[in-house]
Amino acid sequence: MKIENAVAFVTGANRGIGLAFTRELLARGARKVYAGARDPATVIPQSGVEAVRLDVTRPGKVAAAVARAGDVTLLINNAGVAHQGGFLAPDSETAAHRMLEINFFGTLRMSRAFAPVLAANGGGALVNVLSIASWINGGQLAAYAASKSAAWSLTNALRHELEAQKTQVLALHMAYVDTDMVRAIDGPKTSAPEIVRLALDGLEAGLDEVLADERTRAVKQALTAPRPSYLPPRAL
C-alpha cells in the first residue's frame, strides 16, 4: 500500500508510537490522519490531523468513530497498555482482564468495525502494533505478553479473513520502545520514530510482518532453535 493520498486512522495517537505514526504518515503524503484518543484535547495539533474521541473498550465509541471516518483506507491499531508483574501476583487476574480488554478486544473491535470501510474504499490496509512479547513471556510483563500473543493470533486470522477484500494486514513486532509505557523498565530501547519508519517502509513494500529491531529478529529466529527462545535458559 502507498501512503501518499491515504486516509489513516491511528488509535492511541496522542503520544508515543501513535504520535510518531501521525507525523510520519503526514510526512509521506497522507491526505488525512484521524487521531483517536480518549481525550481529543490531548492530541497534539497538526495540519492534516483530525482528533477523534475514541475508547476502544466501548463499542459505542468505536461505532461513532466509524461513522465519522468513512473515508479511511489505512487502520493502525496502536492503542495499548502494559502492566508489570507476573501471573502469581495478587492483582494478576485484574491486570489480565484489563490488558486483554484493550490490547486484544480493542484491536478486534476496531478491525471488525473498519473492515467494511476498508473494503468500500478499495481494500486498503490494517496495521496491528504487536510486540516481541507476542512470542516470549518471562513474567515481567506477564498479562501484557499474553494479550499480545492473542493479538498476534488475531492478526494472523484477519490476514486470511480479509484477503478476499484485498486488505493488506501487517503485524509490527518490536522490543522496548522509548515511550512512557516502558519508562520504568531498564534495557535498550528503540526510538518511536525509527519503529514507525520501518513499519511504513514494510507496509509500502507489501510485507505481512515487520520485525523492527535486532533483538526481535533474533528471538523470532530462535523460536525453532533446539532450546527455543520462549523457554528459560538452562542453568549451567
Residue pLDDT, tens place only, 163-178: 999 999 999 999 977 7
pLDDT in tens, the chain (236 residues): 999 999 999 999 999 999 999 999 999 999 999 999 999 999 999 999 999 999 999 999 999 999 999 999 999 999 999 989 999 999 999 999 999 999 999 999 999 999 999 999 999 999 999 999 999 999 999 999 999 999 999 999 999 999 999 999 999 999 977 766 666 666 667 888 999 999 999 999 999 999 999 999 999 999 999 999 999 988 66
> Which amino acid is located at 36 in the chain?
G
Report the DSSP pairing between strands 168-173 and 209-211. Answer: parallel
Query: For residue 30, what is the enclosing H or E element?
Result: none
176 is catalytic: no
At residue 177, the pLDDT reads 78
What are the grid coordinates assigned to 76, written together? 493502525
Domain ranges of the chain: 7-224
Cell 507489501 sits at which residue? 206
Residue 234: DSSP 8-state: P
At residue 186, the pLDDT reads 66
Query: pTM of the prediction?
Result: 0.94
Q: Of 206, 113, 110, 212, give the one whose Cα is nearest residue 167.
A: 206
Whether 79 and 57 have beta carbons less than 8 Å apart is answered as no
Give me the residues paired with residue 168 across strands: 125
Q: 129-162: per-residue pLDDT in tens?
A: 999 999 999 999 999 999 999 999 999 999 999 9
What are the grid coordinates assigned to 102, written together? 484493550
d(CA 132, CA 149): 9
Query: For residue 182, what is the enclosing H or E element?
Result: none
Report the DSSP pairing between strands 168-173 and 7-10. Answer: unpaired
CATH class in words for 7-224: alpha beta
d(CA 184, CA 178): 10
Which one of the listed residues 34, 144, 176, 230 is annotated catalytic? 144
